[in-house]
Chain A
Amino acid sequence: MDAISSRFMRDYGWLLILLVAAALVPVFSQSNYYISIGINALIIVCLAVSFDLVVGRVGALSFAQPVFYGFGMYVAALLAVNLEMGFWWQVIAAMAGGMLLALVVGIPSFRLNLHAFAIGTLGFATIAHLIATNWMEVTQGPMCVAGVPRATIPLGFMEIAPWKLPQQYYFILTIAAMVVVASVAINRRKLGLAFQAVRDDPVLAASNGFFPTSLRLTAFAVAAAFSAVAGVFAAQFQTVVCPDSFSTATTVTLLIVAFIGGRASLRGVLTASIIFTVLPQVLRIADEWRMVIFGLLLLVIVLSAPDGIEHLFQRVERWRKGRREGGKASGVSAQPFAADTIADITPLGAEERIDGGHLRISGLSKAFAGVKAVDDLSLEVRPGELVGLIGPNGSGKSTTLDCISGITKPDAGRVELDGIDITGMSSSALAKRGLVRTFQSTRVYETLTVRQNLAVALHGRQSIMAEWASYLSPQSESRSFRERADHLIETLNLKHVEHRKAGELSYGQRKLVQFAASVISPPRVLLLDEPLAGVNPTIINLFMRHIAANHGAGLTIILVEHNLGVVVQLCERLVVLEQGRKLADGNPHDVMGTPSVQEAYLGR
């Protein structure tokens, strides 16, 4: 019990302290001036937290956040003035409308890439401002929607009429606290991990079975709803709603707050929100030089503490921790270890059977800039087969894997998995069907720990229903996951780094993590793209044993690899590619003996 409460205090204590401090502001300051600064700061907190959800958590720069805020204000004002609708209706309309608007803007712009998304939201902001200014019949343009009636807020058992400034302050404080709690909750659920995965490496996330666009859209829509609600509340207090609520000044403040605060750091963002709404007010004494000094201060802060407020927090924490633990040496180096100390490697814990998939490729072609990388390739891999795909550099091996795994769309040809045409399916959909690949360039989620890398990979590979149904469950590890993960981590010699971020690991260790993630949930077809390139012989041994174990359990595997010794030893069948065409196909000894293979590949 004690442990739980102390952990709660460590995780949420600073939020409580901040909340209490914020609640005391009107007590100590009777001046309306300070309270209205406080209200501004709290509105910025709401917007900054939602902005951070999009920019910090899923890594998409959005210029649209103030628009959703403004949208919420206009919805509230217009519904109240024209239709005399009550407060909760305004909230519902603004949230639903905001999310709908987010989907309308987000779907076409996310479909492309993040740069297009940034421009799309910038264009959206510009267009929204023009509409608010020019659509006189509805928004009354620059004359503003005036006389918004102050709503009373029915809570069922009582009604609140926050007509005085301190009451308004507490009200907006409640909203800000709710937004913050919602953001913390998202971060601590599986959804938070998935967001982080998509931000770190969308291509890898897709190959783990996630649909990156859906996750980004989710973040964008939720953030839109947060901002719109803040707008509804703001409309009650301001009573006049003008096009300037979209102004670029708000976007600038949000950018500053989000980045000075530190990417995806709530405490940083909160601190920065307060500093950068209070600072301009304090600088009022400098009169016309106010914004010049503000800019200069900002410049000095960025140049002297470029890692943001979050970094300062972390330094303080490390310092405190260092004092507690008395300066333990840090830095992990790989230990040389002999693979044969590991007794037996089973694919995933128990003596499990894997139902390997049946892959049939026919007439596959793909050209880049006129050069044929893969040229009319046909290949059948039967369930449980381990096929080595070899060939000189540039012979089309990786492109073949890209076409099979949905990373690239082939120009012609057909790929079938168990008789079902999977040509042109996204890598996300294929991963869910159990067709999994690793990358030659070695992809891992760099800001996630080794264990989290495995957890995310497992999560994405579930069916869509299961994936989305469990997004709001906590990140704690299930027993079955723990067993699988422990086994893989143990047998791949990753125990000493299991809680390190994957970005801090060496090249060979990343290859191991990538491999572990690919088999954490038993795949049906596994495509391995040069898993052994650049790793030392002990790790090669380790990989060979794991590949053999998975093969033995019935997994269908295509292994692209240059290390011929390994390929010949492991594979029952070799396929040789040259210039995108199949040069030979058969058992290793026959294939290696073929004169054309010797000439093309071995130069003998």
Chain B
Amino acid sequence: MDLLFTQLLNGLTAGAEYALVAAGLALLFGILQIVNFAHGEFYMLAAFILYVLLAVVGLPYYAAAPLTVLLMACAGVLFYAIVISRVISRPWQIQLISTLALSIVMINLAIVLSGPTPRYVESPLNNVILDLGSVRISAQRVLVLLGTIVSFAALYLGLKYTRTGKAMRAVAQNREAAAVVGIGVPVIGLVTTVVAASFAGLAGALIAPLYAVGPTMAVLVNIKAFAAVIVGGFGNVKGAIVAAFVIGLLEAASTTLISTEYTDAIVFGGMILILLFRPNGLFGKAVRVG
């Protein structure tokens, strides 16, 4: 029972990590049709920002975590100005290469500046263990799960009810129609990029204390988040989040029940199986032709 619960918790934590990254990817893809290969590196950047704020600047975690998200929102503005705004109306190949180039720059800059040895981020909540009868859980994990749920709820409400959220959905559904009713597509592009970067920031702020922080920490995460975006139904944010949790839980299950070495193989096998039965992803709509 304990083992099962621990593995379930591991699965949910990993799922939260993938989901926070995948949500940003799905927003960028769904609204702007941008394939962002550097999105995982935003998560890595956020983790390093948190590390610097805690270990170098000496802020307490409660101040450093929100500041990380804020700084990542600023990074989103820069990302939009330097890359996205120039490639937004280009074919996906150009978007892919330019974001890939950015990812190469970020990973290698991190290697140069911090060296390949992983670093550990200390959060006071790591040492607070909550005792729930037969199971014990660290407060940081509780924070991860709570923070993830709250942020997704906020995203859902924001997209559904705010004026900007509606405009974001409008751009996603028909960019030409959005321009025709007077929605400034560039402004929506900026907002979307900032929101996506902030989610990566949140991932770093919440999850970095649980895992080791290093230049290549996000490479696999990004690939799995991509798988989640595709399996979730291209650009469907809700679908991507659900699929990310499915991947996390699948990993935990296969680690416990089958083998550690082949976990990734099982996860991709599962993704392909899902696509075999749901070619348009879990939540995608079948497209009518003609």
Contacts and interface: CB of A to CB of B under 8 A. Distances in A.
A373 to B, nearest CB: 9
Given A292-B105, A306-B87, A116 B275 contact: yes
A570 B159 CA distance: 52
A259 B275 contact: no
Interface stretch (A123-131, A167-175, A211-219, A341-349): A123-131
Nearest to B262: A130
B104 A127 contact: no
Nearest to B220: A126
Contact of B96 (A113, A203, A255, A408): A255
A525 B110 CA distance: 64
A440 to B, nearest CB: 6
Contacts of B109: 292
Interface string B76-103: 0000000100110010011011101111
A296 B106 CA distance: 10
A263 B93 contact: yes
A295 B101 contact: yes
Interface in B218-258: 219, 223, 227, 230-231, 234
Given A126-B265, A130-B262, A299 B108 contact: no
B3 interface: no
A474 interface: no
Interface residues of A, number: 48
Contacts of A298: 97, 100-101, 104
A472 interface: no
A239 interface: no
Contacts of B163: none
Contacts of B86: 303, 306
Nearest to A262: B93
A473 interface: no
Instruction: Specify the main secondary structure of chain B where it touches its partner.
Output: helix
Interface stretch (B11-19, B53-61, B130-138, B266-274): B266-274
Nearest to A63: B223
Interface in B179-238: 219, 223, 227, 230-231, 234
Contacts of A248: 219
B1 interface: no
A108 B277 CA distance: 11
Contacts of A113: 279-280
A440 B262 contact: no
B30 to A, nearest CB: 14
B264 interface: yes
Interface in B98-126: 98, 100-109, 111-112
A112 B96 contact: no
Contacts, number: 125
A115 B228 CA distance: 12
B269 A408 contact: no
Contact of A130 (B93, B101, B112, B265): B265
B268 A256 contact: no
Contact of B289 (A203, A259, A291): A203
Interface string A98-119: 0000000000110111011011
A303 B101 CA distance: 10
Contacts of A120: 272, 275
A306 B276 contact: no
Contacts of A260: 97
A116 B105 contact: no
Given A130-B262, A289-B112, A407-B290, A303 B275 contact: no
A252 interface: yes
Contact of A259 (B94, B103, B272, B288): B94
B108 A292 contact: yes
A292 B112 contact: yes
A163 interface: no
A289 B265 CA distance: 34
Given A112-B275, A407-B290, A408-B289, A306 B268 contact: no
A109 B272 contact: yes
28 contacts: A109-B272, A113-B279, A115-B234, A119-B271, A123-B268, A123-B272, A126-B264, A127-B265, A130-B261, A130-B265, A133-B261, A255-B97, A256-B97, A259-B93, A259-B94, A289-B108, A289-B112, A291-B107, A295-B103, A296-B101, A298-B100, A299-B101, A299-B102, A306-B86, A306-B87, A401-B290, A408-B288, A408-B289
| CB-based closest 5 A-B pairs | A123-B268, A295-B104, A295-B105, A291-B108, A298-B101
